[in-house]
Structure 1
Amino acid sequence: MLREDKNIVKEPDLSYGGLYSYADYLEWNLDETLELIKGKVFKKTAAPNRLHQRLSLHIASEFYQFLKGKTCKVYEAPFDVRLPHKSLRNEDIHTVVQPDICVICDPEKLDVAGCLGAPDLVVEILSPGNNQKELQIKYALYEESGVKEYWIVYPVEQSLIIHLLVNDKYKPSRPFTVGDVVGSSCVEGFQMNLSELFQE
């Protein structure tokens, strides 16, 4: 259910027992990054570390260079992805996430606020403190929202697992690592050399 009071909330109350909406989210004026998952607030535990940022920049750059002149577009956090359940009204949207990287191939999903609907491909890079959210909560969220391809990058292990949506369920690849070249089913022709990604 939506919040019963009509007062504008300038910051989220983590003890609030109801559901926040995207309309609430738009009213918050905070320096920290928040995500809203099924009406509940999730705070980023800390700024991404240097390795996380380097990997994110490398992956986003690879997609950006490949997608020049193509319909699909790549975006890097902070970038709001709204995942509506029934209605497209701000008051009825209870999930707003900021994937590390996402690729959207349907221009109709893009607006001035970000992306409205499931991206075709999402990349999340694990960081200390956020593994549970990425591996459990977001995994289930992206699966049920119809994200066709979900990449999880493990920086310490220098590995990557690609989850493909098959019959509404994710099917994981084997772990890819240094020496492998990975491609994408959503972005035809794209390839990325993991030896270059993980080199320090």
Structure 2
Amino acid sequence: MTIVSAPFTPQTYSPTAQTEQELAYELLSEQVWSEEAYLVFSEAFNRPMELSNGRLVVLPMPTLTHQRILKRYINLVTDWLKENNIGEVLFAPHPVRLWPGKYREPDFMFWLNENRDRMGERESGPPDLAVEIISPSNEPHDTETKFREYAQAGIPEYWIINPQARRVSVYTLDGRTFKLSGQFNSGDHARSILLNGFELAVDDLLSAES
């Protein structure tokens, strides 16, 4: 398989270079990729990407708002885990193999201690909790595609954080589909079912401050 690298470095950034980079990724997405080729390529480039049925899916780069929300969420969970040592946290970029030929990169992942054998250096199996922070350009990918796939992979709990709507939705697995456990808006405290006792203030999580 021929892998075409994108002609882009931070030192040569320009609108033209950005266009060339996106074109290169578009061409790469038309290739048929093996799992190993995907893993090698995703390690080589500082860009979030997934694999779906042999096709490379290049994700939008996270925004400042996205990263601030993710940082707060990570800090809140890790602080809670200091008193409740029930598992381990990882966050993107880290490929999760849902099933053969299907890799996704949740923004946030958590494995219970009894399932930490699913965690690997290069890739991991399905977590016990997955979190996605929605961006307007990628909303259907998180609310429809990943919503369906994470349930099929047996992930017990899925959080969808929507900064634009100022809403946090928590879903729990019911068979092979998700059911809404709670929808939390401004002024509410979002609560986890899996992490019994963990909750966070929606307004604090989605604050515009750094």
**TM-score, normalised with respect to structure 2:** 0.79
Aligned counterpart for 1:193 among listed residues 187, 196, 201: 201
- The CA deviation at 1:65 is 1.0
- The CA deviation at 1:82 is 1.6
- The CA deviation at 1:143 is 0.9
- The CA deviation at 1:172 is 1.5
Q: Which runs of 4+ in 1 moved over 6 A?
A: none
Structure 2's unaligned 5+ residue stretches are 6-26
| CA RMSD, Structure 1 to Structure 2 (Å) | 1.9
Aligned counterpart for 2:148 among listed residues 125, 136, 140: 140
Q: How far apart, in 1, do the equivalents of 2:86 and 2:116 lie?
A: 7
Letter in 1 for 2:103: V
Q: How far apart, in 1, do the equivalents of 2:108 and 2:70 lie?
A: 7
Aligned counterpart for 1:64 among listed residues 65, 78, 83: 78
Letter in 2 for 1:24: A
Aligned counterpart for 1:42 among listed residues 46, 57, 60: 57
Letter in 2 for 1:108: D
Q: How far apart, in 2, do the equivalents of 1:112 and 1:79 lie?
A: 9
Letter in 2 for 1:102: M
Match of 2:130 in 1: 122
- The CA deviation at 1:134 is 0.8
Give SS of 1:111's match.
coil
CA deviation vs aligned residue, 1:33-72 (integer Å, no higher than 9, x gap): 2111233221113x21111111111111111111136131
Match of 1:87 in 2: none
Number of residue pairs matched by the alignment: 182
Give SS of 1:157's match.
coil
Q: How far apart, in 2, do the equivalents of 1:152 and 1:83 lie?
A: 18
Per mean C-alpha deviation after superposition, the further-off stretch among 98-107 and 173-182 is 173-182
Q: How far apart, in 2, do the equivalents of 1:67 and 1:145 lie?
A: 25
How has the CA–CA distance of structure 1 residues 197 and 31 changed in structure 2, closer, same or farther, with 3 Å as cutoff? closer
- The CA deviation at 1:132 is 1.6
Structure 1's unaligned 5+ residue stretches are 1-6, 85-92
- More relative contact order in 1 or in 2 (CA 8 Å, sep 6+)? 1
How has the CA–CA distance of structure 1 residues 179 and 123 changed in structure 2, closer, same or farther, with 3 Å as cutoff? same
Percentage of identical aligned residues:
26
**TM-score, normalised with respect to structure 1:** 0.82
- The CA deviation at 1:31 is 3.5
Letter in 1 for 2:91: E
**Contact 2:52/2:102, CA 8 A, preserved across alignment:** yes
Match of 1:109 in 2: 118
The structure carrying a bigger helix percent of its residues is: 2
